[in-house]
Chains A and B, each alone.
Chain A
Amino acid sequence: MKSPFFSLPAVALATLLLLPGLVGCVSKSSEMGVENSWRGASPPVFEKGRSTQSDVLRSLGPPSQVIALHDQTLFYYLREQSRTKAVYLVLYNQTRQRITYDRAIFFFTKQEVLSDFAYSREPIAGE
């Protein structure tokens, strides 16, 4: 007599054998925004009280945003990166997405002299 469990183990075994063929993984990233030259191999050097708006524009290009404060002008540079990693094991699937912002901010006086600046502590690799 044929065992009632004969078909079940066969199905389970076949499934287990097929599973490795069904697994997959994904790794992708996308970036947008201005080029983050301040992370480059030879990053520009700025000096508070000496560098000017022209120095910054010449080194980094047009900013993402310019904000006119009352006594100061603010240049805001932004590069945005999205990285996704996923593992598909059929039985368990995991997706992780990380969005990182690499920012640089520059404050200028009315005389267009750099009064302060800062970069993000979490860099996106520049060119």
Chain B
Amino acid sequence: MNPFNSFRFIGIGGVCLLLASGCSSFRTEIGRPAGRTAAFVEGQSRVEAVVQQLGPPESATRLPEGFAFLYEHSVIREFQLGISVNYSILRFIKFIRAWNSLDQEAILLCFDDHGILQKASSKHWKERLGGGSAAQFVLTVMSLSDVSRFLRPADAHSWGRALLEPPPVTLNSGQSLRSGEHGLRQQRIAPDYAGQHALEMAKPISEKERRRVKKDYQNQPQPPGR
């Protein structure tokens, strides 16, 4: 090959590489697929069979006529296509376009006081979580997804702490959907600032706080003895 062509080949390849810089893929999976629920028969299946097959639920609650289990599985995906231009100071900046999606599965099982399955409902769906565009430093890798709603610790961790929250939250603990005695809390994707939670007068968190949620979640202090 002509040396000039070799240089040209390398040059064009290099330009392509530089233009395509900064593609990123993010995937966050919460929980595990619950498995098949078709084997359960309303009015016949017992709670023992359910927990043996599906394991303990994501959350459980008492109901006026029995109790209920909620199982959830979430997969959040984000793909970012990034390009940069090898010109002047622009070579240090990448321009990205991001697409986000959610793959969600939820199963609700209601039992009577004797542990007999009364109602079973499940759904598996996919939806877009939105997207975005950004200009970032070429070495920055940052998700544009708002996953703060998904990355909150499970409610069971804060069960005993509910009485130490600010007064509106503490006073609401007698009816709280997170205590497991007054109904199931809503799914992770549902907003926190509507319905029964409105009594807690919590303010929607800011964009800065949303970013901190993910950071804090990943830096949880280890419990004693671990």
Show the binding face of A for B, using Cβ within 8 Å: 3, 5-6, 8-9, 11-13, 15-16, 22, 28, 30-35, 64-71, 74, 76, 78, 80, 82, 84, 86, 88, 90-101, 103-105, 107, 116-122, 127
CB distance from B160 to the nearest CB of A (A): 8
Distance A8 CA – B32 CA, assembled complex (angstroms): 49
Distance A5 CA – B217 CA, assembled complex (angstroms): 49
Q: Is A99 within 8 A of B223, CB to CB?
A: no
Q: Is A30 within 8 A of B218, CB to CB?
A: yes
CB distance from A104 to the nearest CB of B (A): 6
Q: Which residues of A contact B141 (CB under 8 A)?
A: 86, 88, 93, 95
Distance A28 CA – B181 CA, assembled complex (angstroms): 35
Q: Is B55 within 8 A of A90, CB to CB?
A: no
Q: Which residues of A contact B225 (CB under 8 A)?
A: 35
Q: Is A103 within 8 A of B218, CB to CB?
A: no
Distance A30 CA – B30 CA, assembled complex (angstroms): 14
Q: Tell whether B130 is near chain A: CB-to-CB under 8 Å.
A: no
Q: Is A3 within 8 A of B218, CB to CB?
A: no
Residue of A nearest to B26 (CB): A95
CB distance from B221 to the nearest CB of A (A): 8
Interface 9-residue window, one of B12-20, B98-106, B166-174, B195-203: B12-20
Q: Is B60 within 8 A of A32, CB to CB?
A: no
Sample (12) of A-B pairs whose CB atoms are under 8 Å apart: A6-B7, A28-B218, A31-B222, A35-B225, A67-B62, A70-B66, A74-B180, A93-B23, A94-B25, A95-B24, A103-B57, A120-B56
Q: Tell whether B125 is near chain A: CB-to-CB under 8 Å.
A: no
Distance A101 CA – B139 CA, assembled complex (angstroms): 33
Q: Tell whether B58 is near chain A: CB-to-CB under 8 Å.
A: yes
Q: Is B223 within 8 A of A35, CB to CB?
A: yes
Residue of B nearest to A64 (CB): B156
Q: A15-B14, A15-B18 are in contact. Are A92 and B181 (CB under 8 A)?
A: no
Q: Is A84 within 8 A of B218, CB to CB?
A: yes
CB distance from A127 to the nearest CB of B (A): 8
Q: Which residues of A contact B60 (CB under 8 A)?
A: 67, 74, 76, 105
Distance A87 CA – B14 CA, assembled complex (angstroms): 21
Q: A90-B139, A94-B25, A119-B56 are in contact. Are A12 and B13 (CB under 8 A)?
A: yes
Q: Is B223 within 8 A of A32, CB to CB?
A: yes
Q: Is A82 within 8 A of B217, CB to CB?
A: yes
Interface residue from A30, A67, A80, A95 paired with B157 (Cβ < 8 Å):
A80
Distance A9 CA – B25 CA, assembled complex (angstroms): 29
Q: Is B113 within 8 A of A70, CB to CB?
A: yes
Distance A76 CA – B109 CA, assembled complex (angstroms): 17
Q: Which residues of A contact B47 (CB under 8 A)?
A: 107, 116
Interface residue from B7, B155, B180 paired with A5 (Cβ < 8 Å):
B7
Q: Which residues of A contact B222 (CB under 8 A)?
A: 30-31
Distance A104 CA – B156 CA, assembled complex (angstroms): 12
Q: Is B11 within 8 A of A5, CB to CB?
A: yes
